[in-house]
Structure 1
Amino acid sequence: MISVLFAVLTALSNGSASVLQRRAALTVPDSEAMRLSLIGRLVRQKVWLAGIGLVIVAAVCQAVALATGPIAVVQPIFVIELPATLLIAGFVMRVKVTRPVWYGVAAVTLGLALAMAAADPAGGSDDVRGAAWIPALVATGAFEAALIAGALGTRGNPRAALLGLAAACGYALTAALMKDAMARLDSDGAVGLLTAWQLYATAAAGVGALFLLQNALQAGSLVAVQPMLTLGDALISVLYGVTLFGEELRAGWWLLPQLAGLALIAVGCVVLSRSPLATAGPPPGTR
């Protein structure tokens, strides 16, 4: 229950951060894409710094959630970040929340509940055994490289979507590394945590994912980024949970309600993508 509560708090914090970061990214010209100067421009904006503050809050909540629950339970809950982001955007951007938006929010929420109840993630270890990280890191690096290469070959929303998925992969990796690092804290105390390579890899992966997300938000609309970010994070995290931590999901006929839940989430994302909230810019006088 504690892990679920802190996972929800993480999703709400990240959703709020995405809105603030998107608002700041709208002021950055296309010429700064995929350059460190992009961060230099953003760091001078208070609204972006406020978003980073919420990212830090989310990271703390996520660490608590991962330390108290399976990654296959914690990360999929972040799917609610999408409807939360758009509802928060409606408030910040002063755009009316219409009935279809509420339908989309309901579809995503119910789909998540159905998929999670049917999958019932359980078991697994708190840490990664042996050299299992080696093939996982190689596969992740290759996938990220392919996404970034594809993004560099396009513009607009397609680039935003590819970079959003790359950021999702980075955040899922960050979560897996964080969970493994927190296991060292439980078993070996503070010294074990500070001497674990996973702790520093967590920081590196998190910074890389944040950089990709800023470029995704700068490249296209929020709706192109957020579904790829939230759904990609959830699905890739479940894959890490099963392959690295040995967590188990229900199989057999349980796959049917799981697929139905994913379908509801997908429908909800499509409905939300048609909302003015998805493409709303900042209110007059803020750019």
Structure 2
Amino acid sequence: MISVLFAVLTALSNGSGTVLQRRAAMRVPQSEAMRLSLIGRLLRQRVWLAGIGLVIVAAVCQAVALATGPISVVQPIFVIELPATLLVAGWAMGVRAPRTVWYGVVAVTAGLAIGLAAAAPVDGTDSVRGADWIPTLLLTGAFEAAVIVAALRARGDTRAALLGLASACGYSLTAALMKDAMARLGPDGGALALLSSWQLYASAAAGVGALYLLQNALHAGSLVAVQPVLTLGDALISILYGVTLFAEELRTGWWLLPELAGVGLIAVGCVVLARSSLATDTLGPQPPPPPRVS
């Protein structure tokens, strides 16, 4: 129960942070794409710094969630961040949510409930053998490289979707490393064991890389291209890590049918939400500032 609570708090904080980062990214010229100077420009914007603050809060909540529950449960819950963020942002800005938004909210929520109920994830081990990380990191690195190379050869929403997928993979790896690091806080470890684990610092590095890729994804194309890939990619890749690294178990056989139905509902809901007028009003580009009068 604690893991579910903190997973929900993570989704709310991370989603709100994405809203602020999106607004900041749309103020940066396209010429800054895939350059370190993009981060330099973003650092000068208070709205982006506020978004990063929420990301830090989300990271703390995520660490607690992963330390108390299986990654196959915690990460999929993050799919609620888009509907929750849209509704909260709409309420804060006085924008009424249209009927299509509620359809999207219902689709995402129902898809998550059906998928988790059908999969019935069972917790496995809390930590990973060091040797098991070697093939995992090599395969993840190769996948990330292939997706990024494909993104650099694409334009517009295609590039945005590919970079969103790369970012999702980075966030999933961050979660897996974080869960392994948090296991060091067990009865045989403690704060010193946590601080001396390479997984903690690798998790931070993977998180920074995923954040950088997300900035470029949001900068490259529309939210409707980024959000579904980011949301589903993070959930599905995290489940893969949970099964292969932490020996978590999911129901298979005919249970795959409702599980796939849940994934489909989440995908449809994300597209509906990302294309809604509420998403445009709350996550879309802001108008350019008026010229100064000298």
| TM-score, structure 1 as length reference | 0.95
Aligned match of 1:5 = 5
Choose 121-130 or 91-100, whichever is displaced more: 91-100
Choose 133-142 or 215-224, whichever is displaced more: 215-224
Secondary structure of the residue that 2:97 maps to in structure 1?
Answer: coil
Aligned match of 2:239 = 238
Change (3 A) 1:279 1:235: same
Aligned match of 2:208 = 207
Aligned match of 2:256 = 255
Map Cα deviations across residues 242-263 of structure 1 (whole Å, 9 max, x no partner).
0000000011222121112112
Aligned match of 1:193 = 194
Note the 1:132-281 alignment, pairs <5 A: 132-186=132-186, 187-280=188-281, 281=284
| Identity among equivalent pairs (%) | 78
Does the Cα contact within 8 Å between 1:10 and 1:62 map onto a contact in 2? yes
Q: What is the Cα deviation at residue 3 of structure 1?
A: 0.1
Does the Cα contact within 8 Å between 1:15 and 1:88 map onto a contact in 2? no
Counterpart Cα distance in 2 of 1:92 and 1:29: 28
Aligned match of 1:83 = 83
Aligned positions, number: 287
Aligned match of 1:112 = 112
Q: What is the Cα deviation at residue 83 of structure 1?
A: 1.6
> What letter matches 2:185 in structure 1?
L
Counterpart Cα distance in 2 of 1:27 and 1:270: 24
Does the Cα contact within 8 Å between 1:100 and 1:275 map onto a contact in 2? yes
Choose 271-280 or 183-192, whichever is displaced more: 271-280
Does the Cα contact within 8 Å between 1:104 and 1:269 map onto a contact in 2? yes
Counterpart Cα distance in 2 of 1:93 and 1:19: 13
Counterpart Cα distance in 1 of 2:199 and 2:59: 15
Change (3 A) 1:50 1:232: same
Choose 137-146 or 272-281, whichever is displaced more: 272-281
Counterpart Cα distance in 1 of 2:159 and 2:167: 12
Change (3 A) 1:40 1:242: same
Q: What is the Cα deviation at residue 230 of structure 1?
A: 1.2
Counterpart Cα distance in 1 of 2:288 and 2:138: 46
Structure 2 portions without partners, runs of 5+: none
Choose 49-58 or 261-270, whichever is displaced more: 261-270
| TM-score, structure 2 as length reference | 0.93
Counterpart Cα distance in 1 of 2:154 and 2:285: 25
Counterpart Cα distance in 2 of 1:258 and 1:38: 39
Change (3 A) 1:165 1:93: farther
> What letter matches 1:141 in structure 2?
G
Secondary structure of the residue that 2:131 maps to in structure 1?
Answer: coil
> What letter matches 2:127 in structure 1?
D
Secondary structure of the residue that 2:228 maps to in structure 1?
Answer: helix
Aligned match of 1:39 = 39
> What letter matches 1:128 in structure 2?
V
Choose 76-85 or 204-213, whichever is displaced more: 76-85
Does the Cα contact within 8 Å between 1:221 and 1:278 map onto a contact in 2? no
Counterpart Cα distance in 2 of 1:192 and 1:45: 37
Counterpart Cα distance in 2 of 1:8 and 1:286: 35
Map Cα deviations across residues 60-106 of structure 1 (whole Å, 9 max, x no partner).
00000000000001000001112223334545676542101110110
Secondary structure of the residue that 1:127 maps to in structure 2?
Answer: coil
Change (3 A) 1:134 1:72: same
Does 2:138 match 1:128?
no
Counterpart Cα distance in 1 of 2:26 and 2:94: 16
Q: What is the Cα deviation at residue 39 of structure 1?
A: 0.5
Counterpart Cα distance in 2 of 1:145 and 1:18: 24
> What letter matches 1:75 in structure 2?
Q
Does the Cα contact within 8 Å between 1:223 and 1:278 map onto a contact in 2? no
Q: What is the Cα deviation at residue 282 of structure 1?
A: 4.4
Counterpart Cα distance in 2 of 1:93 and 1:224: 24
Map Cα deviations across residues 112-148 of structure 1 (whole Å, 9 max, x no partner).
0110011011131000024111111011001110111
Q: What is the Cα deviation at residue 228 of structure 1?
A: 1.2
Secondary structure of the residue that 1:131 maps to in structure 2?
Answer: helix
Does the Cα contact within 8 Å between 1:95 and 1:276 map onto a contact in 2? no
Aligned match of 2:54 = 54
Counterpart Cα distance in 1 of 2:107 and 2:209: 31
Does the Cα contact within 8 Å between 1:157 and 1:224 map onto a contact in 2? yes
Aligned match of 1:27 = 27
Map Cα deviations across residues 177-201 of structure 1 (whole Å, 9 max, x no partner).
0000001122311121111110110
